[in-house]
């Protein structure tokens, strides 16, 4: 069997013999065609030259605690992707269950009960933390970054350092919430990746500050395996480029790969490199638009697991929208809570105070800037 992967073909590989054992994919595909790593991005200057600098107002939506809106969000969320990183490595675990399974201690601390994590062993005291929290039918996600304060027999305590709403583009592109339960999925790694539509990418910088970023695309365009490496493209987003900056500082990454509707998940780990090489990027063009850069994960290890967290979360079919959650209002509230006191910040706060303006801006961006 062979699988079409854009402009390349990945030859047949041996079936996965144990879904819970690392699978050294880099040993395969030795004779396959190559996506070259020409025009590799090696520093921040090259990254900004490729994708641009993060707009100043983007930082205004980040607060250093959980406000009332974020606490309501966690009370309604049944699924969270958690990354735990050091200055040399990063791990990822899905966490899921009844809405509100995350315990909010106060505005600066949360506790993750170990019983709700697929892989609680990746968390250790002192590690950096990044999380991506989802609520059914809502396209936006809540991102929380911080540090592991303590780990006991029952839970992992997190000190919150950053909190903000992420845009809905990844979930829109992946058609995440329109999925239906899928009782069967591919059991071979390349086929699973080819069918996937959503990724949670966990990274950490050289000091261990963690981050988990969402990425979404149609099946066949999300993430691909060839030439012994895993590749994915960058799409328009919030332009914070946290993940890419982390990769340049500390290249180890951990990735959760999902087929929306399925309980089975692919977990990847490896070293990431960034390229703006044309050959790598054109294979990921969608709607006639070529991404600005692509990421290659070298010598990846992959596991296919049946995620107990997703099973408990019961995401699909998605329930009716939660009326207490309003992402646009949360972004507006976070901008107003920002401690930045520059003239630009003052002007932005005045602008977002106009009723309905934030929602209109989001809707326009989602309609015209998905790719």
Which domain CATH number covers 255? 2.30.110.10
Is residue 75 in a domain? yes
Asked if residue 192 and residue 71 are part of one domain, the reply reads: yes
Residue at 160 is within a domain: yes
Helix or strand holding residue 24 (H, E): strand 23-24
Q: Exposed e or buried b for every residue in 118-133, given b needs 16+ CB within 10 A?
A: bbbebbeeebbbbbbb
pLDDT at 28: 37
Task: Flag whether 322 is in a domain.
Answer: no
Nearest to 170 by CA among 202, 193, 141: 141
Q: Are strands 155-166 and 229-233 parallel, antiparallel or unpaired?
A: unpaired
Residues 346 and 229 in one domain: no
| Structural domain for 339, as ranges | 327-368
Q: CB-based contacts of 159: which residues, under 8 Å, 6+ apart?
A: 108, 109, 146, 147, 148, 149
DSSP state of 19: T
Q: Judge contact between 334 and 165, C-beta under 8 A.
A: yes
What residues contact 287, with CB distance under 8 A and at least 6 apart?
370, 371
DSSP per residue over 49-102, as a string? HHH-PPPGGGGGG-BSS--HHHHHHHHH--EEEEEEE-SS-EEEEEEE-STT-S
Domain count within the chain: 2
Half-sphere exposure of 352 (CA within 13 A, CB side): 23
d(CA 159, CA 311): 28
Sign of CA dihedral 155, 137, 316, 6: negative
Per-residue model confidence as pLDDT tens digits over 104-119: 999 999 999 999 999 9
Spatial separation of the C-alpha atoms in residues 144 and 67, rounded to whole Å: 12
Q: Examine residue 321 and state whether it is found in any structural domain, yes or no.
A: no
Weakly modelled stretches of the chain, pLDDT under 70: 1-37, 238
- Write down the pTM of the prediction: 0.89
Residues 351 and 254 in one domain: no
Are 269 and 155 found together in one domain?
yes
Asked if 13 and 72 sit in the same domain, the reply is yes
Does residue 276 sit in the same domain as residue 352?
no
Determine the pLDDT at residue 35.
56
């Amino acid at each position: 069997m062979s699988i079409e992967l854009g402009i390349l073909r990945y030859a047949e590989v041996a079936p996965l013999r144990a879904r819970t054992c690392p699978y050294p994919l880099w040993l395969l595909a030795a004779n396959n065609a190559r996506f070259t790593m020409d025009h590799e991005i090696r520093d921040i200057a090259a990254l900004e030259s490729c994708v641009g600098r993060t707009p100043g107002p983007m930082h205004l939506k980040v607060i250093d605690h959980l406000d009332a809106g974020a606490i309501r969000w966690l009370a309604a969320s049944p699924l969270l992707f958690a990354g735990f990183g050091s200055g040399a490595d990063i791990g990822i675990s899905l966490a899921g269950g009844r809405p509100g399974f995350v315990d909010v201690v106060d505005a600066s601390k949360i506790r993750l009960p170990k019983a709700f994590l697929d892989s609680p062993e990746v968390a250790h005291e002192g590690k950096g933390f990044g999380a991506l929290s989802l609520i059914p039918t809502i396209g936006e996600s809540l991102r929380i970054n911080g540090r592991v304060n303590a780990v006991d027999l029952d839970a992992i305590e997190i000190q919150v350092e950053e909190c903000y709403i992420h845009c809905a583009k990844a979930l829109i592109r992946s058609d995440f919430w329109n999925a239906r339960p899928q009782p069967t999925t591919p059991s071979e790694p390349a086929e699973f990746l080819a069918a996937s539509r959503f990724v949670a990418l966990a990274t950490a910088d050289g000091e261990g500050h963690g981050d988990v970023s969402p990425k979404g695309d149609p099946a066949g365009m999300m993430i691909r395996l060839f030439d012994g490496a895993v590749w994915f493209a960058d799409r328009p987003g919030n332009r914070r480029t946290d993940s890419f900056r982390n990769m340049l500082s500390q290249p180890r990454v951990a990735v959760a790969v999902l087929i929306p509707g399925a309980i089975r998940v692919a977990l990847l780990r490896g070293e990431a490199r960034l390229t703006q090489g044309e050959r790598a990027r054109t294979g990921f063009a969608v709607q006639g638009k070529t991404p600005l850069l692509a990421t290659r994960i070298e010598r990846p290890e992959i596991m296919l697991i049946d995620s107990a967290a997703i099973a408990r979360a019961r995401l699909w079919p998605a329930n009716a929208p939660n009326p207490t959650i309003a992402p646009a209002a949360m972004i507006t509230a976070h901008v107003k809570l920002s401690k930045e006191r520059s003239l630009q910040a003052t002007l932005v706060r005045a602008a977002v105070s106009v009723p309905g303006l934030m929602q209109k801006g989001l809707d326009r961006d989602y309609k015209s800037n998905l790719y």
